[in-house]
Chain A
Amino acid sequence: MAIPSTASSIAESVRRGERTATEILESYLANIERREKDIHAFNLVTTEQARAMAAKVDADVAAGRDPGALAGVPIALKDNMCTRGVPTTCSSRILEGWKPPYDATVVTRLAAAGAVFVGKTNLDEFAMGSSTENSAFGVTHNPHDTSRVAGGSSGGSAAAVAAEFAAASLGSDTGGSIRQPAALCGVVGVKPTYGTVSRYGLVAFASSLDQIGPFTTDVRDSALLLEVMSGHDPLDSTSIPQPPLSLMSSLDQDVKGLRIGRITDLPGGSDPEVEARVAEAFAALAAAGATIVDVELPSMKYGLTAYYLIAPAEASSNLARYDGVRYGLRVESSDTNSMYGATRAAGFGDEVKRRIMLGTYALSAGYYDAYYGKALKVRRLISDDFARAYQKADVIITPTSPIVAFPVGAKVDDPLSMYLCDVFTIPTNLAGHPAMSVPFGTGADGLPVGVQVLAPTLGEAAMFRVAAQLERSAPGGAR
């Protein structure tokens, strides 16, 4: 009997005693052993810890205790989530040698549900990037074509699921960092409503935009992980005071009567094959009984610009604590101020420095109103546009990424073209809404295409209904 390939089927078989967590883990570790050198999904594979967690799950089952909804599911964690005693680097030299003394809330919740952590995945340094090329520890390659990027910033987590190094993984999404790599790697990726999943223990990039979410091979698994991870956390003041999401029941509902929004003024420039897949997605949903409605989002075209002021502004403040005083890298120098400078010059990569400078400038006296202040107004306008659109539509469909996975190195010297990868994903973060990417056929060179489903605040149930339908309707052989 083959090893089950989805998180829900693994958990089910382990809880029933049909499979042990240990044998499942070993099969995933064998995949890592075989292909990790070509992919580089991980900064660290925590083999021993994983074996201990699996053994504990097996002991629970043997003793008649229920190990939880994720019993024995091998899960990879983006390396910007704190894990007690396990290095957490954010793929940055500046955090060299730092081991957090505490677990992120998501880590605690997944572990309590019986998950088995296989390792910490690579990312663009401090989650700043769209290709996982801005990592201090090397590029992550796309399992579908290792000459291409996996997307980013959660490229390691997306690649880990696509390469079957883990049954599921966690990423963080500030402007598309879960959805874009999910699309490029042909897996499901979800950014839930801001405040649904605790950020406690997620190393901040841009606090008002960051949100943790899952990567999985199918829509059901994402629903399962979200049910485990979500729900109020008193340690995160921006966490919405509500019980965990309930999504599993949405998966089997059809889409009859749902209104699917199509943005008439969507910024152009997407690959024709990406546009073709999205058109097919609309057709499939219509065929399944949904109604397609036109909506306008006139402010969407300003989203990218606003994002590249707001996110760097917050980042410039969030990353100021890496000063060499208390932890991580310290480059000694003659006095404190020059120690700060030398440490930060050596510890941060170019993209991080670029954004710190951009954000510092945007917040500076005399420039605040023209840059950061104006960006906040755009943010409000985008929310207002969405509010109007969601009077007409229950969800909105767009491409996740305008392009399929691009060759490693193709955009590293052109930050603006890299930033454009996130044009469809960024508005969601600015509005705090949920959105997810679902694999839907292939584009150029047979590479995966993702369709993005957007929903209003706490609209996850309708979003998952539509995502499940897209999964059912997707052209065969996407993966």
Chain B
Amino acid sequence: MFRIFRSLRWRLQAWHAIILLSVIIVFGSLLHWEMLRAHWDRIDDELLGAARILEGSMNAVPATILEAMAKDVTNRSGPRRRPPNPNRPKRELPDGAMQPGPPQLERPRERPMLDWMFPRIAGEVNSDRSQEEWEATIELPPQLPGHLGRHDGPAYFAIWRKDGSILTESKLPPGTQIPTDSLRNAIDRDRYARQQRGPFREVFIRGPYATTICVGRPVAVEQGNTARMTWTLILSGLSVLSVGLIGGWWFTKRAIEPIERMSKTAQRISANSLTERIDVGGCDSELEGLGASLNTMLDRLAQAFEQQKQFTADASHEFRTPLSVMLASSELALSKQRTADEYREQLTKCQRAATRMRELGDSMLTLARLDANPQLDFQLLELSALILESIELIRPLAQERGVQLEVKMVTCSVEGNRSMLRQAIDNLLSNAIKYSELSGLVSVRCNVLENSVELEVEDNGIGIPESALPKLFDRFYRVDESRSRVAGGTGLGLSIVKKIVNCHHGDIVVTSREGHGTSMRVILPKKQKSEPLT
């Protein structure tokens, strides 16, 4: 069930979806919020403007007074106070805007000018009147001009006195109330407050004499607009999300496909079909790299397998020959009654074959051990002493073949594994003797170099053809089958020498001329590195 979510493609897709969704949500919310704010700010500004105009008109000196003031200035006589005329028809501007007081008389800005020009009037207007007097002077329109509320009916306003009683109001929608305490606090703090009351938007400010002015209008249409805007945002967000997800699905499919192809190929590849390779065509460069490295690995693996197969085939071949000798001899001996000499002859053959098989098995075991890169036990050895031991052991063979042994050595010591080095020296010496002509000469030399010691075994025997030199250390390789059959040996001797020398971080160099002899030079470092051989 949860397996599918462990798939790379699903997880990529899930992360993609999560990131895309959060980006869309964050971005959409910010956008939505900003748009709503701008939208409502515009309406609020409009309402606030209307409220300020109302406030202004409440503070304004009535036009009649202004006219009188103007005359007074012209006549240099005192202004005549005209009583307020409640029946005076309301003045409306041609465009239907609310009657504002003359803007130049707005107090905070124009006060010094006013004071200078009309000191008495200004004083009167400003402070000396009681609230009742002031209330008697203000003129307010019965209602706000209709354009504030474009579609949803007219705007409305209300003015409350400090004590909460209505000073004046237009036709109010039901439920209009004096602002709550929290709204009042907001007004005190920000100089205005606003609230959404059902389908109505209202703005409150302070008017003169601690009055509270409220201007509101129905905003059902705008609310509808904002709801539509929200839906538009949500829908476009969803469509962006789905396009993104489909695109992502396609992209991940495209990215994962080569991996799946590779894994299918890899599944098909087994020990028996190592020839198959991963197709890296049309992959991205990273996957192409991966495929190429896998192919290289397969190449090496196939090579190793091939070598292994070859080795097994060679080994079984090597075992079959002595085995067939044993089988044929024993069968022959047992086929009828024979004399003791005849039995002895056949048994000797069997023994020789068995000895050869034992040698072969020992050599293969040695090689297998060396192949496993063992942690060899290194110690400081007298190489010259080791060579002398080896020579003493091999002398009978040399005498049997009529080969002379010549030794030129200096005392030299080397760090190495005793039994391994002995085996290498034995193999080199017996090889040299086996491939020498009758009354040949095998010379063993040992020199000390700067950081290494050199052991050279040279014979003047049959030599090795140049074409055979590269394969000389291959397992079961024999330069000449017939010669080795006569001389014995397993075909593994030099492979073992090479392996031992490698395990000692040394090197082996062969120089040979066919018909003139062979020289094997082994160079071993005096000190062994402590790190294991890889």
Same complex origin of A and B:
no
Q: Which residues of B contact A (CB under 8 A)?
A: none
Q: Which residues of A contact B (CB under 8 A)?
A: none
